[in-house]
Structure 1
Amino acid sequence: MTLLSSLDFSLPLQNPVIIFSLVLFIILFAPIIFNKIKVPHIIGLIVAGVIVGPYGLNLLKRDSSIVLFGTVGLLYIMFLAGLEIDLAEFKKNRKRILVFGLLTFIFPLVFGSLASYYILGYGFLSSLLLASMFSTHTLVSYPIASKYGVIRNRAVSMTVGGTMITDILALLILAGIAGMTKEDVSSAFWVQLGVSTLIFVAIVFAVFPIVIRWFFKRFDDSISQYIFVLAMVFLASFLAEAAGIEAIIGAFFSGLVLNKFVPHSSPLMNRIDFVGNALFIPFFLISVGMLVDVTVLVKGWGALKVAGVILVVALATKYLAAWLTQRIFKLTKTEGTMIFGLSSSHAAATLAIILVGYNIITGETASGEPIRLLNEDVLNGTILLILVSCGVSSFVVEGASKKLALDQDQEETNTANEQVNEKILVSLAYPDMVTQLVDFGIMLKSKKNDTSIYGLNVIDDEIAASQHTGTSKKIIAKAIAHAAASENSIIPITRYDSSISNGIVYTIKEHSIGDIVIGMHKKADQHTFLGTKAENIIKKIYETIYIYKPTQPLNTFKRIVVAMPPNAETEPGFLHWLKKLMMIAKEAGIPVNFYGTLATNDAVLKVIERSIGVIKVKFTEFSNWDDFLIFSRELKLNDLFIIVSSRKGHDSYVSQMNKLPYYLSNYFVEQSLIVLYPKQLEAGINMGNIEQADSHLIETITEQFGVIGKAGRFVRGLFKSK
């Protein structure tokens, strides 16, 4: 038993249990305290780091454990930036990203070099290295933008992309100057750096996707998937360092690669966000605060002068770059403010450059003191810059995020033209398909509307026994737990009925369900491909039905292929299913290939052009459903095949659809597919019938009024004659 008197309470604290407990209490209470006084929680964590650090109360030493967790937190921020970014929007804005990246690098570099050379009196190499530090920035305030849900705004995407450009260029300058001081920079050095960088990029973007897809196909355990994701992030970071570039570049690139494999509404994404924001990122912010030495303010005018020049030049040039970017690309004022806020904070790369410069010895004084490339005044001024710039960044991003979030909500409200309260029903019959069906149901969930997801399991009461009831409870419990892992909820329904299909039909009608997800039964063949239950539902229900056969997880698809019948655009449910499909493609970040007639493809294109957001689409003319087997040659194993079908007697129904069970059960056995039945009017009442009925009604009324008119004229004639 350990006595209290035997515990070591000397400062800085040495007991790992006490140290970790103190850090956790800081992570818990610092944001709460600072939020009450309207200060961003990030500032609270940095200030807490200042207070407990070696230059404050000296409660904690910035030892290897703090450095380790701080490094993990920094890499985690860069990884999240790549993971959460909208890839389609990122590609769309690549020219803007390049322009902003160059502006936010060149302005600080030029003005910083001039200020360092002429105002501070440093030499050329010292001025250039110090100015390159001004050019870098760290996305310290990115978690604030993430909290407000504006990370997919173009301003955020531009800043994240610009961060990569400016940090790479600044670190290249650092490598060159470090080599020049050692007199070993030659053309071979730059060739080696270029080749190693190309090899690194090739491994991350060509090899990593193959490994990631293989793993996700074979392992669905949540813990294993999370550990695997972290392993890939830090492997990419290590490979970046091995290639001679900064580890944060590797973390960001790994996020870009994993972007397609981690849907934003998935349980895995929820775990990634939770662990990062609860532990790793706060550790990084506390470690940044522990670097700050507030005593530089009383160490003489030299340190204050350097700190003042560093602060003014660093913030002013970043503001100038953001303002020019806003004017050049006609962004809103709030977006320009967001760019400045995210790009104004200095931390990781800044500190790395300064520490390298501080440790480079260029000579000795007469008394034997080392002459450093960057002296102690620069080091202290930079540490002060970290504190002030992170504070400015946090306040600015907080304000801009609030405005962008309000604008985004208003825009979504104005553009939303679907029902306010959507209801999705997921029919759960097979235990091994529960997670795939629930994932698909969540993907259908609209972010704009109030959407309810129902999980239904129907028990045939004629054969119901205790084992069937137990299986039903396990299925429902599994669905609820899986949805909860992604912070979604499922409304469970267990129903006893003499017919399973009738149980599903009556549940749909009772709850006014709009979208129905049904798993394709396991013993599908050419005679009973959809199954008698699904066929009965299709006959009795005219809402949108998705009959899903998953052979691999949703996040491992490379492409969606959609086969559309002629006149698909004339069906009442056309706009609804198309918007749902676009939402899934955007969420998963995968392209869509549409196969349809010229008229149908044109209608799809017009809808996509009017929609908010960007997805990569391709159109191929296809109208001969007798030649349906061309898809067996076009489709690849990692494609999701969606067949837009139709109920008999409606505009888009073609007789060749009767052959679909034969084709799909014989030639598409290993293919993941969805047979989609769009929302339609009651049986036999299609748009053509309505138009004909309206025309007939108008003709009848006209004829009746014509008869009445003739009778009236005859009566009036009789009265006149009298």
Structure 2
Amino acid sequence: MDKLLHHISEAFSTPITNPVLVFSVILTIILISPIILRPIKVPGIIGLILFGVLLGPHGLNWLAKIDKDTLQGNGVDAIDLFSTIGLLYIMFIAGLELDMNEFKKTRNKSLLFGFLTFIIPISIGFPVCHYLLGYDLLPSILIASMFATHTLVSYPIVNNYGISKREAVAITIGGTILTDTAVLIILAVIVGASQGEINQDFWVTLGVSFVLFLFIMFGVIPRIAKWFFQKIESEKTAHYIFVLAVVFFAAFLAEIAGLEPIIGAFVAGLALNKLIPHSSALMNRIEFIGNAIFIPFFLISVGMIVDVSVLMKGPMALIIAGTLTVVAVTGKFLAATATSFLAKYARNDRNLIFGLSNAHAAATLAIIMVGYDREIIDENVLNGTIVLILITCIIASLVTENASRRIVMAGHQDDEHIEHVPEHEERLLLPIANLDTMEPILDFATLIKSKKSPHPLHILSVVADNEQAERNMANARKNLDSMAKYASGSETDVELLSTIDFNIASGIGRTSKEILADCLILGWPSATSFIDKIVGEKTESILNRTNTNLFMCKFDNPFLSNKSMIIFVPPLAESEKGFEYWMEKMLKLVGELTLPLTFVCNKRTQLAILEVLKMLETSVPCSFDNYEDWNNIYGLATFSNADALLVFVSARYGDVSYRDSLDGLAKRVGRYFKKQNLILIFPSRRENQHIDDYEDVKTAPIFRKISREIGNMFTKE
């Protein structure tokens, strides 16, 4: 018993050295920090730092970095290891999450804001640090460059208010890329200078190594990544391990090139940006593991370094903390004001830019930690920076929320004039036909699904009502379970539905009406039997029994193999009820995949598409090719590329844009473009407006085809 008590007291003696107990304590902090601090509106990043301060060596002394001398051999401290991973992870995600299409769209104004938000804070910060606070040249430049960075901590607020597509938001995101990149390059120079290496050889070596580094990261790595994602498609775990390997390889490569590892991680994010869609399962894994383990470890380790008692030792520490905060807020406010004046933005947009760019968090922390580890800056600046982060994050959240609310009250939301399915009500239905083709279709549905909709993806299996119905139902449930397991990889909510009906088309049509589905997503129609051809194929029967938007998909290749998207839009497609809906979904898809988009249509349809593009304020690069001979569908082949994702817009029989040349389009397109990813779209139609409602659905197609051919005999010249 005494031995047991002694063992327990030894384990719990401070600081805790038992690695299992240290890990348990840190996981407990990660778990309870948001729960405790959420009611008082303290940002999660601040909460974890505060807990690090409380439990670190300068607080209760529960956690401390293990002295390497006490370890056998050359061990590495677990907290050090995890926090290093977390630091690199923050910079990697910062590069990965940037919307490159938005940056391209607002390039000039982004360059203007990026320049102003970089130069103004530095111009104010350097003289204040050098002349007022009395720091030497290098520390003054480092601290001043820290003022130029910002983290988009308050971006979720803008997203929630539905104004994320506003130009002021886009240029702030673009400015983030520019200012953070510039500051990280300055950091490399400062670190070199601190080691006394600034001479002609330093600049030549830095220039050459930087060019080589960029060539490997943007010329070699994306090609390897694309090949890997395509060839090892089934091994989802391998994708994540590969991404992680790229991040650390990039960090190591940057170090060899004389740069900081965090620059390598940031560039790795930019290099893989186009290859990892923001709504994909892989992106979900990257963010989940980073936000759950690595990044919290880093934030807690930052708190462990902070010595609050320094702030109490004299007025100098408080003066430094206050000065840093005032300079940081003032610099960003002046940059936002100057940008608004030159770009002729209203006051609310100015406040929006200021709110989004005022928060100093990830990059600021990364830069200051490098400076502190290299002994370029002192403890006062480190502690002052923590105070700065706390205050600027709170100001950013309050200003952004206030500006967003005013913009919405003025009626300037993204979707103000567009008639489409409300995103918060959207329901998608995916009937299972062939399990082998369902995984890419489920990925497609995840990419186009509205993020505002609380409804899950509805996955349906229809079982024919015959003597084997019971056995078939059991198999159907197994198939549904495997789909649910796959969907959980991207944290996609699914609802599994199974039903018995006389035929599959009837079951799909009935379920679609029961759940009020806005869109049906089907696999590509397979080869049909002779009986199917006589009484009406399943696909045509489904079209007849539903009025909602319907997407047929053939995804034989990974999305990464596509370099562009081409949408073939027939005349009068703009008159269909579902026109805006499918436009919105395709723009969402092409935005996720970061592809350029080309519309092939006539002049009238082009004008209608341009109007919708203007209303949606999309950042996707769009171009147009003119085609007038829509009775000759095979003529469209001249516009296609072997590596393009092809989208054909069709229509149900009797719709305004329907024409004979669209009949049987799925079969003809599937035969002609065998090796390409294809989507066939049937827009929604108004109910009870079509002769099909009065026909016998099973026998209608054959009579309709006969009557159409007879009609063609008399109309041919």
In the alignment, which residue of structure 2 is the partner of 1:430? 434
TM-fit CA distance, 1:459: 1.2
In 2, distance between residues paired with 1:439 and 1:529? 31
In the alignment, which residue of structure 2 is the partner of 1:89? 102
TM-fit CA distance, 1:535: 2.0
- Does residue 336 (structure 1) correspond to residue 353 (structure 2)? The answer is yes
Contiguous gaps of at least 5 residues in structure 2: 67-76, 693-717
Q: How does 1:419-498 map to 2 (within 5 A)?
A: 419-420=421-422, 421-447=425-451, 451=455, 453-462=457-466, 464=468, 467-498=471-502
The verdict on how the C-alpha distance between 1:596 and 1:93 changes in structure 2, with shifts beyond 3 A counting, is closer
| One of 58, 61, 73 as aligned partner of 2:61 | 58
Deviations along 1:331-374, one digit per CA (max 9) or x if unpaired, are 62441332343247832212323543x3xxxxxxxxxxxxxxx5
In 1, distance between residues paired with 2:64 and 2:526? 61
The verdict on how the C-alpha distance between 1:212 and 1:4 changes in structure 2, with shifts beyond 3 A counting, is farther
Contiguous gaps of at least 5 residues in structure 1: 359-373, 687-722
Decide which structure has the larger Cα Rg and report it: 1
In 2, distance between residues paired with 1:447 and 1:233? 28
Q: Does structure 2 retain, via aligned residues, the 8 Å contact 1:113–1:127?
A: no
In 2, distance between residues paired with 1:151 and 1:571? 28
Deviations along 1:33-77, one digit per CA (max 9) or x if unpaired, are 223334333222111111221222222224532232222222222
TM-fit CA distance, 1:534: 0.7
The verdict on how the C-alpha distance between 1:151 and 1:655 changes in structure 2, with shifts beyond 3 A counting, is closer
In the alignment, which residue of structure 2 is the partner of 1:5? 6
Matched to 2:391, the amino acid is V
TM-fit CA distance, 1:603: 1.5
Q: Does structure 2 retain, via aligned residues, the 8 Å contact 1:138–1:347?
A: no
Matched to 2:572, the amino acid is N
TM-fit CA distance, 1:649: 4.2
Matched to 1:586, the amino acid is G
Q: Does structure 2 retain, via aligned residues, the 8 Å contact 1:341–1:393?
A: yes
Deviations along 1:652-709, one digit per CA (max 9) or x if unpaired, are 23333347456434331111112222223567679xxxxxxxxxxxxxxxxxxxxxxx
Matched to 1:495, the amino acid is T
| One of 253, 261, 283 as aligned partner of 1:239 | 253
Q: Which moved more, 1:9-18 or 1:155-164?
A: 155-164
In 2, distance between residues paired with 1:208 and 1:524? 44
Matched to 2:607, the amino acid is D
In the alignment, which residue of structure 1 is the partner of 2:280? 266
Q: How does 1:596-675 map to 2 (within 5 A)?
A: 596-625=601-630, 628-629=633-634, 631-632=636-637, 634-658=639-663, 660=665, 663-675=668-680
Deviations along 1:554-603, one digit per CA (max 9) or x if unpaired, are 46533221112222223333233222222322333322211111111221
In the alignment, which residue of structure 2 is the partner of 1:139? 151
In the alignment, which residue of structure 2 is the partner of 1:691? none
Matched to 1:3, the amino acid is L
In 1, distance between residues paired with 2:683 and 2:179? 49
Matched to 2:269, the amino acid is G
TM-fit CA distance, 1:608: 0.8
| One of 302, 309, 329 as aligned partner of 1:288 | 302
| One of 419, 422, 426 as aligned partner of 1:417 | 419
- Does residue 399 (structure 1) correspond to residue 404 (structure 2)? The answer is no
Q: Does structure 2 retain, via aligned residues, the 8 Å contact 1:145–1:397?
A: no
In 2, distance between residues paired with 1:194 and 1:485? 42
The verdict on how the C-alpha distance between 1:672 and 1:191 changes in structure 2, with shifts beyond 3 A counting, is same
The verdict on how the C-alpha distance between 1:632 and 1:105 changes in structure 2, with shifts beyond 3 A counting, is same
The verdict on how the C-alpha distance between 1:176 and 1:487 changes in structure 2, with shifts beyond 3 A counting, is closer
| One of 123, 126, 137 as aligned partner of 1:113 | 126
TM-fit CA distance, 1:189: 2.7
Q: Does structure 2 retain, via aligned residues, the 8 Å contact 1:8–1:15?
A: yes
TM-fit CA distance, 1:431: 1.3
Q: Does structure 2 retain, via aligned residues, the 8 Å contact 1:144–1:397?
A: no
| One of 514, 517, 527 as aligned partner of 2:518 | 514
In 2, distance between residues paired with 1:575 and 1:133? 45
The verdict on how the C-alpha distance between 1:651 and 1:336 changes in structure 2, with shifts beyond 3 A counting, is closer
In the alignment, which residue of structure 2 is the partner of 1:47? 50
SS of alignment partner, residue 679 of structure 1: coil
TM-fit CA distance, 1:79: 2.4
Q: How does 1:668-687 map to 2 (within 5 A)?
A: 668-681=673-686
The verdict on how the C-alpha distance between 1:339 and 1:665 changes in structure 2, with shifts beyond 3 A counting, is closer
In the alignment, which residue of structure 2 is the partner of 1:361? none
| One of 208, 232, 241 as aligned partner of 2:221 | 208
Deviations along 1:200-249, one digit per CA (max 9) or x if unpaired, are 22332333333333333332344333223322333333333333333333
Matched to 2:128, the amino acid is A
In the alignment, which residue of structure 2 is the partner of 1:223? 237
In 1, distance between residues paired with 2:510 and 2:521? 15
In 2, distance between residues paired with 1:316 and 1:477? 55
| One of 577, 581, 587 as aligned partner of 2:586 | 581
How many aligned positions are there? 666
SS of alignment partner, residue 671 of structure 1: coil
The verdict on how the C-alpha distance between 1:471 and 1:159 changes in structure 2, with shifts beyond 3 A counting, is same
In the alignment, which residue of structure 2 is the partner of 1:351? 369
In 1, distance between residues paired with 2:515 and 2:134? 76
Matched to 2:446, the amino acid is I
Provide the alpha-carbon RMSD of the alignment.
3.6
In the alignment, which residue of structure 2 is the partner of 1:197? 210
Q: Does structure 1 retain, via aligned residues, the 8 Å contact 2:56–2:305?
A: yes
In 2, distance between residues paired with 1:339 and 1:164? 14
TM-fit CA distance, 1:197: 2.1
SS of alignment partner, residue 418 of structure 1: coil
- Does residue 26 (structure 1) correspond to residue 39 (structure 2)? The answer is no
Percent same amino acid at aligned positions?
36
In 1, distance between residues paired with 2:229 and 2:408? 34
The verdict on how the C-alpha distance between 1:677 and 1:336 changes in structure 2, with shifts beyond 3 A counting, is closer
Q: Which moved more, 1:663-672 or 1:166-175?
A: 166-175
Q: Does structure 2 retain, via aligned residues, the 8 Å contact 1:46–1:288?
A: yes
TM-fit CA distance, 1:22: 1.0
In 1, distance between residues paired with 2:669 and 2:250? 41
The verdict on how the C-alpha distance between 1:459 and 1:271 changes in structure 2, with shifts beyond 3 A counting, is same
Q: Does structure 1 retain, via aligned residues, the 8 Å contact 2:644–2:676?
A: yes
Q: Which moved more, 1:320-329 or 1:487-496?
A: 320-329
